[in-house]
Structure 1
Amino acid sequence: MSCDQTYPGIVDDVVKLIESVRPHRRVFQVTAPGAVVVQSNWVHWPCLFPQHGPGRKHERAILLEDWQRVLVEEHPAAFLRGLFHSDGCRVRNWATRVVAGHQKRYDYPRWQFVNASTDIRELCCWALDLVDVAWRQSTTRTISVSTRAGVARLDELIGQKS
Protein backbone atom coordinates (compact mmCIF):
# COMPACT_ATOMS: atom_id res chain seq x y z
CA MET A 1 0.00 0.00 0.00
CA SER A 2 1.38 3.41 -0.92
CA CYS A 3 1.17 5.95 1.89
CA ASP A 4 1.95 9.67 1.88
CA GLN A 5 5.15 10.13 3.91
CA THR A 6 3.69 13.36 5.31
CA TYR A 7 1.51 11.21 7.59
CA PRO A 8 3.76 8.84 9.56
CA GLY A 9 0.86 8.00 11.88
CA ILE A 10 -1.08 6.54 8.97
CA VAL A 11 1.99 4.57 7.87
CA ASP A 12 2.27 3.16 11.42
CA ASP A 13 -1.46 2.29 11.38
CA VAL A 14 -1.06 0.39 8.09
CA VAL A 15 1.96 -1.52 9.42
CA LYS A 16 0.09 -2.45 12.63
CA LEU A 17 -2.96 -3.57 10.69
CA ILE A 18 -0.96 -5.81 8.39
CA GLU A 19 0.92 -7.23 11.39
CA SER A 20 -2.39 -7.97 13.13
CA VAL A 21 -3.63 -9.93 10.10
CA ARG A 22 -0.31 -11.72 9.56
CA PRO A 23 1.45 -11.59 12.95
CA HIS A 24 4.35 -13.88 12.07
CA ARG A 25 5.19 -12.38 8.68
CA ARG A 26 7.54 -9.54 7.91
CA VAL A 27 6.16 -6.14 6.88
CA PHE A 28 8.39 -4.09 4.61
CA GLN A 29 8.52 -0.32 4.24
CA VAL A 30 10.04 0.88 0.99
CA THR A 31 10.56 4.59 0.55
CA ALA A 32 9.81 6.27 -2.75
CA PRO A 33 9.70 9.99 -3.58
CA GLY A 34 7.03 11.44 -1.27
CA ALA A 35 5.72 8.02 -0.28
CA VAL A 36 6.26 4.97 1.88
CA VAL A 37 5.15 1.70 0.32
CA VAL A 38 4.06 -0.76 3.02
CA GLN A 39 3.97 -4.35 1.84
CA SER A 40 3.83 -7.93 3.02
CA ASN A 41 3.84 -10.84 0.64
CA TRP A 42 1.02 -13.38 0.97
CA VAL A 43 -0.78 -15.40 -1.63
CA HIS A 44 -4.12 -14.95 0.20
CA TRP A 45 -4.35 -11.13 0.16
CA PRO A 46 -6.78 -11.36 -2.81
CA CYS A 47 -9.07 -13.51 -0.62
CA LEU A 48 -9.33 -10.63 1.88
CA PHE A 49 -9.54 -7.98 -0.82
CA PRO A 50 -11.32 -9.50 -3.82
CA GLN A 51 -11.88 -5.95 -5.14
CA HIS A 52 -8.19 -5.75 -5.98
CA GLY A 53 -7.43 -6.52 -9.57
CA PRO A 54 -5.89 -5.34 -12.79
CA GLY A 55 -6.64 -1.91 -14.13
CA ARG A 56 -7.73 1.33 -12.57
CA LYS A 57 -10.19 1.02 -9.70
CA HIS A 58 -12.52 3.65 -11.16
CA GLU A 59 -12.82 1.60 -14.35
CA ARG A 60 -13.87 -1.66 -12.70
CA ALA A 61 -16.52 -2.68 -10.20
CA ILE A 62 -15.66 -2.21 -6.54
CA LEU A 63 -18.29 -4.17 -4.64
CA LEU A 64 -18.12 -5.57 -1.13
CA GLU A 65 -18.67 -9.26 -0.55
CA ASP A 66 -21.48 -10.10 1.91
CA TRP A 67 -18.99 -10.87 4.70
CA GLN A 68 -17.27 -7.52 4.10
CA ARG A 69 -20.59 -5.64 4.25
CA VAL A 70 -21.30 -7.26 7.62
CA LEU A 71 -17.90 -6.11 8.93
CA VAL A 72 -18.50 -2.54 7.74
CA GLU A 73 -21.96 -2.53 9.33
CA GLU A 74 -20.36 -3.65 12.61
CA HIS A 75 -17.41 -1.21 12.34
CA PRO A 76 -18.39 1.72 10.09
CA ALA A 77 -16.01 4.14 11.84
CA ALA A 78 -12.97 2.03 10.96
CA PHE A 79 -14.13 1.81 7.34
CA LEU A 80 -14.69 5.57 7.16
CA ARG A 81 -11.33 6.21 8.79
CA GLY A 82 -9.62 4.23 6.07
CA LEU A 83 -11.53 6.00 3.32
CA PHE A 84 -11.00 9.53 4.63
CA HIS A 85 -7.40 8.96 5.65
CA SER A 86 -6.58 7.67 2.16
CA ASP A 87 -8.74 9.86 -0.12
CA GLY A 88 -10.11 12.56 2.15
CA CYS A 89 -9.18 15.72 3.96
CA ARG A 90 -10.43 18.07 6.64
CA VAL A 91 -10.33 21.66 5.47
CA ARG A 92 -11.50 25.09 6.56
CA ASN A 93 -14.17 26.35 4.22
CA TRP A 94 -15.52 29.88 4.10
CA ALA A 95 -18.53 31.75 2.86
CA THR A 96 -19.64 35.38 2.86
CA ARG A 97 -23.05 36.76 3.76
CA VAL A 98 -24.45 40.25 3.88
CA VAL A 99 -25.53 40.96 7.46
CA ALA A 100 -27.10 44.34 8.32
CA GLY A 101 -25.73 45.74 5.06
CA HIS A 102 -22.15 44.56 5.70
CA GLN A 103 -20.34 41.67 4.09
CA LYS A 104 -19.39 39.12 6.75
CA ARG A 105 -17.08 36.14 6.32
CA TYR A 106 -17.79 32.82 8.03
CA ASP A 107 -15.13 30.10 8.38
CA TYR A 108 -16.09 26.55 9.19
CA PRO A 109 -14.51 23.07 9.05
CA ARG A 110 -15.50 20.53 6.43
CA TRP A 111 -14.54 16.96 5.61
CA GLN A 112 -14.21 16.07 1.93
CA PHE A 113 -13.80 12.67 0.29
CA VAL A 114 -12.63 12.66 -3.33
CA ASN A 115 -12.50 9.54 -5.50
CA ALA A 116 -12.95 8.86 -9.23
CA SER A 117 -14.74 5.54 -8.54
CA THR A 118 -18.51 5.83 -8.34
CA ASP A 119 -18.61 2.53 -6.42
CA ILE A 120 -16.16 3.76 -3.79
CA ARG A 121 -18.01 7.07 -3.38
CA GLU A 122 -21.27 5.14 -2.94
CA LEU A 123 -19.64 2.93 -0.28
CA CYS A 124 -18.48 6.07 1.53
CA CYS A 125 -22.00 7.54 1.46
CA TRP A 126 -23.47 4.25 2.69
CA ALA A 127 -21.04 4.19 5.62
CA LEU A 128 -21.79 7.85 6.43
CA ASP A 129 -25.50 6.94 6.49
CA LEU A 130 -24.72 4.07 8.89
CA VAL A 131 -23.32 6.57 11.43
CA ASP A 132 -25.99 9.23 10.76
CA VAL A 133 -23.62 11.80 9.25
CA ALA A 134 -25.22 14.17 6.76
CA TRP A 135 -23.34 14.42 3.47
CA ARG A 136 -23.78 15.82 -0.01
CA GLN A 137 -22.09 15.35 -3.33
CA SER A 138 -20.53 18.77 -3.93
CA THR A 139 -18.85 17.91 -7.25
CA THR A 140 -18.83 14.87 -9.52
CA ARG A 141 -16.05 13.20 -7.51
CA THR A 142 -16.43 14.89 -4.11
CA ILE A 143 -18.52 13.95 -1.08
CA SER A 144 -18.69 16.73 1.51
CA VAL A 145 -19.60 16.73 5.19
CA SER A 146 -20.20 20.35 6.14
CA THR A 147 -22.70 20.50 8.97
CA ARG A 148 -21.33 21.29 12.40
CA ALA A 149 -22.79 18.06 13.80
CA GLY A 150 -21.49 15.95 10.90
CA VAL A 151 -17.95 17.35 11.13
CA ALA A 152 -17.91 16.86 14.92
CA ARG A 153 -19.12 13.26 14.50
CA LEU A 154 -16.43 12.45 11.93
CA ASP A 155 -13.79 14.11 14.11
CA GLU A 156 -14.92 11.82 16.94
CA LEU A 157 -15.11 8.68 14.80
CA ILE A 158 -12.04 8.92 12.62
CA GLY A 159 -9.77 11.61 14.05
CA GLN A 160 -7.26 13.78 12.27
CA LYS A 161 -4.67 12.55 9.82
CA SER A 162 -1.30 12.32 11.50
Structure 2
Amino acid sequence: MYDVGTRKRALALVAQGRSLNSVSKETGVSRAAIRSWQSRIEPRRRSGSPCPRCQDVPAPPANQAAYAYLLGLYLGDGCINAHRRGVYFIRIVLDNAWPGIIDACEAAMRSVRPDNSVCRVKKQGCVAVTGSSKHWPCLIPQHGPGMKHNRKIALEPWQQAIVDTHPWEFIRGLIHSDGCRVTNWTEKVIDGERKRYEYPRYFFTNLSADIRQLYTDTLGKVGVDWKQPNARNISVARRASVALMDTHVGPKY
Protein backbone atom coordinates (compact mmCIF):
# COMPACT_ATOMS: atom_id res chain seq x y z
CA MET A 1 0.00 0.00 0.00
CA TYR A 2 1.20 3.52 -0.81
CA ASP A 3 0.23 6.72 0.96
CA VAL A 4 -1.52 9.59 -0.84
CA GLY A 5 1.64 11.72 -0.91
CA THR A 6 3.54 9.01 -2.78
CA ARG A 7 0.74 8.65 -5.29
CA LYS A 8 0.56 12.38 -5.92
CA ARG A 9 4.33 12.64 -6.37
CA ALA A 10 4.47 9.73 -8.83
CA LEU A 11 1.60 11.12 -10.91
CA ALA A 12 3.14 14.58 -10.93
CA LEU A 13 6.43 13.16 -12.24
CA VAL A 14 4.59 11.30 -15.01
CA ALA A 15 2.73 14.51 -15.90
CA GLN A 16 6.10 16.17 -16.54
CA GLY A 17 6.69 13.71 -19.38
CA ARG A 18 8.85 11.29 -17.41
CA SER A 19 8.72 7.61 -18.38
CA LEU A 20 6.99 5.13 -16.10
CA ASN A 21 10.29 3.30 -15.76
CA SER A 22 12.19 6.37 -14.48
CA VAL A 23 9.36 7.34 -12.11
CA SER A 24 9.24 3.81 -10.78
CA LYS A 25 12.97 3.82 -10.08
CA GLU A 26 12.84 7.22 -8.34
CA THR A 27 9.78 6.53 -6.18
CA GLY A 28 10.05 2.77 -5.63
CA VAL A 29 6.52 2.31 -6.96
CA SER A 30 5.81 -0.39 -9.54
CA ARG A 31 4.88 0.67 -13.05
CA ALA A 32 1.64 -1.30 -12.80
CA ALA A 33 0.61 0.67 -9.71
CA ILE A 34 1.34 3.99 -11.41
CA ARG A 35 -0.72 2.94 -14.44
CA SER A 36 -3.66 2.03 -12.22
CA TRP A 37 -3.48 5.39 -10.43
CA GLN A 38 -3.51 7.21 -13.76
CA SER A 39 -6.66 5.41 -14.89
CA ARG A 40 -8.57 5.11 -11.59
CA ILE A 41 -7.48 7.35 -8.72
CA GLU A 42 -6.87 10.78 -10.22
CA PRO A 43 -10.08 10.98 -12.28
CA ARG A 44 -12.17 10.15 -9.20
CA ARG A 45 -10.52 12.95 -7.23
CA ARG A 46 -11.26 15.47 -9.96
CA SER A 47 -14.82 14.47 -10.79
CA GLY A 48 -16.48 16.52 -8.04
CA SER A 49 -14.53 19.73 -8.56
CA PRO A 50 -16.88 22.47 -9.84
CA CYS A 51 -15.47 25.38 -11.81
CA PRO A 52 -16.89 28.86 -11.13
CA ARG A 53 -16.14 29.91 -14.71
CA CYS A 54 -18.14 26.99 -16.20
CA GLN A 55 -21.42 27.82 -14.50
CA ASP A 56 -24.40 29.17 -16.45
CA VAL A 57 -23.49 32.57 -14.98
CA PRO A 58 -19.65 32.57 -14.74
CA ALA A 59 -18.30 33.75 -11.41
CA PRO A 60 -14.82 34.60 -10.09
CA PRO A 61 -12.98 32.16 -7.81
CA ALA A 62 -14.26 32.12 -4.23
CA ASN A 63 -10.95 33.20 -2.65
CA GLN A 64 -10.08 36.19 -4.80
CA ALA A 65 -7.06 37.27 -2.74
CA ALA A 66 -5.45 33.84 -3.15
CA TYR A 67 -6.30 33.94 -6.87
CA ALA A 68 -4.64 37.35 -7.34
CA TYR A 69 -1.48 36.06 -5.66
CA LEU A 70 -1.46 32.83 -7.70
CA LEU A 71 -2.03 34.80 -10.92
CA GLY A 72 1.03 36.93 -10.16
CA LEU A 73 3.11 33.80 -9.51
CA TYR A 74 1.90 32.22 -12.75
CA LEU A 75 2.73 35.27 -14.87
CA GLY A 76 6.24 35.18 -13.44
CA ASP A 77 7.34 31.56 -13.15
CA GLY A 78 4.32 29.47 -14.07
CA CYS A 79 3.09 27.32 -16.92
CA ILE A 80 0.04 25.20 -17.71
CA ASN A 81 0.38 21.92 -19.62
CA ALA A 82 -2.28 19.63 -21.04
CA HIS A 83 -2.34 16.01 -19.90
CA ARG A 84 -4.58 13.12 -20.83
CA ARG A 85 -8.40 13.08 -20.54
CA GLY A 86 -8.68 16.84 -20.60
CA VAL A 87 -6.69 17.36 -17.40
CA TYR A 88 -4.26 20.27 -17.10
CA PHE A 89 -1.34 20.75 -14.74
CA ILE A 90 -0.29 24.16 -13.47
CA ARG A 91 3.32 24.41 -12.29
CA ILE A 92 4.95 27.26 -10.42
CA VAL A 93 8.72 26.75 -10.19
CA LEU A 94 10.25 28.39 -7.10
CA ASP A 95 13.75 28.58 -5.65
CA ASN A 96 14.56 26.32 -2.69
CA ALA A 97 16.02 29.38 -0.95
CA TRP A 98 12.50 30.68 -0.19
CA PRO A 99 10.53 27.95 1.65
CA GLY A 100 7.97 30.48 2.88
CA ILE A 101 7.06 31.41 -0.70
CA ILE A 102 6.76 27.72 -1.62
CA ASP A 103 4.33 27.27 1.28
CA ALA A 104 2.36 30.37 0.25
CA CYS A 105 2.14 29.16 -3.35
CA GLU A 106 0.83 25.75 -2.32
CA ALA A 107 -1.70 27.34 0.04
CA ALA A 108 -2.96 29.66 -2.72
CA MET A 109 -3.23 26.83 -5.23
CA ARG A 110 -5.20 24.69 -2.77
CA SER A 111 -7.45 27.62 -1.95
CA VAL A 112 -8.26 28.32 -5.60
CA ARG A 113 -8.91 24.63 -6.42
CA PRO A 114 -9.67 23.01 -3.04
CA ASP A 115 -11.04 19.76 -4.51
CA ASN A 116 -8.07 19.02 -6.77
CA SER A 117 -4.68 17.53 -6.00
CA VAL A 118 -1.64 19.73 -5.29
CA CYS A 119 1.87 18.45 -4.72
CA ARG A 120 5.52 19.50 -4.73
CA VAL A 121 8.03 18.07 -7.17
CA LYS A 122 11.65 18.54 -6.14
CA LYS A 123 14.13 19.56 -8.79
CA GLN A 124 17.76 20.63 -8.63
CA GLY A 125 17.76 23.86 -6.64
CA CYS A 126 14.01 24.43 -6.92
CA VAL A 127 10.54 23.04 -6.31
CA ALA A 128 7.68 22.84 -8.81
CA VAL A 129 4.40 23.36 -6.97
CA THR A 130 1.95 21.44 -9.16
CA GLY A 131 -1.83 21.28 -9.24
CA SER A 132 -4.10 19.25 -11.51
CA SER A 133 -7.53 20.26 -12.79
CA LYS A 134 -9.56 20.25 -15.97
CA HIS A 135 -10.29 23.92 -15.40
CA TRP A 136 -6.94 25.72 -15.12
CA PRO A 137 -7.38 27.22 -18.63
CA CYS A 138 -10.80 28.53 -17.50
CA LEU A 139 -9.28 30.16 -14.43
CA ILE A 140 -6.08 31.38 -16.11
CA PRO A 141 -6.96 32.09 -19.76
CA GLN A 142 -3.47 33.51 -20.36
CA HIS A 143 -2.45 29.89 -20.93
CA GLY A 144 -1.35 29.27 -24.49
CA PRO A 145 1.35 27.73 -26.69
CA GLY A 146 4.90 29.01 -26.52
CA MET A 147 6.69 31.37 -24.14
CA LYS A 148 4.62 34.08 -22.47
CA HIS A 149 6.87 36.88 -23.75
CA ASN A 150 6.22 35.75 -27.34
CA ARG A 151 2.43 36.10 -27.15
CA LYS A 152 -0.13 38.65 -26.05
CA ILE A 153 -0.82 38.67 -22.30
CA ALA A 154 -3.92 40.58 -21.23
CA LEU A 155 -6.30 40.14 -18.32
CA GLU A 156 -9.96 39.35 -18.82
CA PRO A 157 -12.34 41.95 -17.31
CA TRP A 158 -13.21 39.63 -14.41
CA GLN A 159 -9.50 39.11 -13.69
CA GLN A 160 -8.82 42.84 -13.80
CA ALA A 161 -11.63 43.36 -11.30
CA ILE A 162 -9.94 40.91 -8.92
CA VAL A 163 -6.55 42.60 -9.34
CA ASP A 164 -8.15 46.01 -8.74
CA THR A 165 -9.68 44.67 -5.52
CA HIS A 166 -6.52 42.86 -4.36
CA PRO A 167 -3.65 44.79 -5.99
CA TRP A 168 -1.07 44.02 -3.33
CA GLU A 169 -1.65 40.28 -3.56
CA PHE A 170 -1.07 40.48 -7.32
CA ILE A 171 2.08 42.58 -6.85
CA ARG A 172 3.33 40.22 -4.17
CA GLY A 173 2.90 37.24 -6.48
CA LEU A 174 4.85 38.97 -9.25
CA ILE A 175 7.68 39.95 -6.88
CA HIS A 176 7.81 36.48 -5.31
CA SER A 177 8.24 34.96 -8.76
CA ASP A 178 10.26 37.42 -10.84
CA GLY A 179 11.27 40.15 -8.37
CA CYS A 180 13.55 40.84 -5.45
CA ARG A 181 14.36 43.35 -2.72
CA VAL A 182 18.03 44.37 -2.71
CA THR A 183 20.23 46.84 -0.88
CA ASN A 184 22.12 49.27 -3.08
CA TRP A 185 24.89 51.57 -1.97
CA THR A 186 26.63 54.70 -3.13
CA GLU A 187 29.37 57.00 -1.92
CA LYS A 188 29.21 60.76 -1.53
CA VAL A 189 31.80 63.30 -0.49
CA ILE A 190 30.44 65.57 2.23
CA ASP A 191 32.70 68.25 3.80
CA GLY A 192 35.69 66.54 2.25
CA GLU A 193 34.82 63.16 3.74
CA ARG A 194 33.71 60.22 1.62
CA LYS A 195 30.69 58.46 3.11
CA ARG A 196 28.88 55.31 2.10
CA TYR A 197 25.07 55.27 1.93
CA GLU A 198 22.90 52.18 1.63
CA TYR A 199 19.29 52.14 0.48
CA PRO A 200 16.75 49.37 -0.33
CA ARG A 201 15.27 48.90 -3.76
CA TYR A 202 12.80 46.54 -5.42
CA PHE A 203 13.42 45.06 -8.86
CA PHE A 204 11.03 43.20 -11.14
CA THR A 205 12.46 41.51 -14.23
CA ASN A 206 10.36 39.95 -16.99
CA LEU A 207 10.84 39.54 -20.74
CA SER A 208 7.17 40.22 -21.49
CA ALA A 209 6.31 43.87 -22.08
CA ASP A 210 2.66 43.01 -21.39
CA ILE A 211 3.44 41.52 -17.97
CA ARG A 212 5.68 44.47 -17.10
CA GLN A 213 2.79 46.75 -18.05
CA LEU A 214 0.39 44.85 -15.79
CA TYR A 215 2.90 45.25 -12.96
CA THR A 216 3.49 48.97 -13.46
CA ASP A 217 -0.21 49.71 -13.97
CA THR A 218 -0.94 48.05 -10.64
CA LEU A 219 1.92 49.87 -8.93
CA GLY A 220 0.47 53.15 -10.13
CA LYS A 221 -2.95 52.32 -8.68
CA VAL A 222 -1.48 51.80 -5.18
CA GLY A 223 0.69 54.93 -5.31
CA VAL A 224 4.10 53.37 -5.93
CA ASP A 225 6.55 55.34 -8.09
CA TRP A 226 8.68 53.29 -10.44
CA LYS A 227 11.29 53.62 -13.15
CA GLN A 228 12.44 51.39 -15.99
CA PRO A 229 16.26 51.51 -16.08
CA ASN A 230 16.48 49.10 -19.01
CA ALA A 231 14.30 47.01 -21.32
CA ARG A 232 13.59 44.17 -18.88
CA ASN A 233 13.67 45.72 -15.40
CA ILE A 234 11.27 47.79 -13.32
CA SER A 235 12.81 49.55 -10.31
CA VAL A 236 11.17 50.97 -7.18
CA ALA A 237 13.67 53.10 -5.26
CA ARG A 238 11.96 56.21 -3.86
CA ARG A 239 11.86 56.07 -0.08
CA ALA A 240 8.09 56.41 0.30
CA SER A 241 7.41 53.83 -2.41
CA VAL A 242 9.90 51.37 -0.92
CA ALA A 243 8.18 51.83 2.45
CA LEU A 244 4.85 50.92 0.84
CA MET A 245 6.38 47.84 -0.76
CA ASP A 246 7.96 46.84 2.55
CA THR A 247 4.57 47.11 4.26
CA HIS A 248 2.71 44.98 1.74
CA VAL A 249 5.37 42.77 0.14
CA GLY A 250 8.67 42.72 2.03
CA PRO A 251 11.77 40.61 1.38
CA LYS A 252 11.46 37.08 0.11
CA TYR A 253 11.36 34.45 2.83
TM-score between both structures, scaled by the size of structure 2: 0.62
1:10 to 88, 101, 122: 101
Match of 1:134 in 2: 225
The residue identity in structure 1 corresponding to 2:107 is: K
Shift of 1:37: 0.8
Superposed, 1:4-153 pairs within 5 Å as 4-153=95-244
1:157 aligns with 2:237: no
Shift of 1:130: 0.9
Q: Deviation digits for residues 3-25 of structure 1, max 9, x if unmatched?
A: 11111111111111111112122
The residue identity in structure 2 corresponding to 1:104 is: K
Deviates further, 102-111 or 116-125: 102-111
Maintained 8 Å contact 2:116/2:131: yes
- Higher RCO (C-alpha 8 Å, min separation 6): 1
Shift of 1:160: 2.2
Determine the C-alpha separation between the residues in 2 that align with 1:35 and 1:114: 19
The residue identity in structure 1 corresponding to 2:221 is: L
Q: Deviation digits for residues 89-117 of structure 1, max 9, x if unmatched?
A: 10011122232233322110001101111
Moved segments of 4+, more than 4 Å: none
Structure 2: gaps of 5 or more residues? 1-91
TM-score between both structures, scaled by the size of structure 1: 0.96
Determine the C-alpha separation between the residues in 2 that align with 1:56 and 1:26: 25
Determine the C-alpha separation between the residues in 1 that align with 2:197 and 2:240: 17
The residue identity in structure 1 corresponding to 2:123 is: A
Higher-Rg structure is 2
Please state which structure has a larger fraction of its residues in strand.
Answer: 1
The residue identity in structure 1 corresponding to 2:201 is: R
- What's the RMSD between the two structures over aligned residues? 1.1
Please state which structure has a larger fraction of its residues in helix.
Answer: 2
- Percent identity, aligned pairs only, is 49
Maintained 8 Å contact 2:181/2:250: no
Question: What secondary structure sits across from 2:194 in the alignment?
Answer: strand
Question: What secondary structure sits across from 1:41 in the alignment?
Answer: strand
The residue identity in structure 2 corresponding to 1:83 is: L
Q: Deviation digits for residues 71-93 of structure 1, max 9, x if unmatched?
A: 11111000000001100010011
Determine the C-alpha separation between the residues in 2 that align with 1:70 and 1:9: 27
Shift of 1:139: 1.4
The residue identity in structure 2 corresponding to 1:133 is: V
| Number of equivalences | 162
The residue identity in structure 1 corresponding to 2:146 is: G
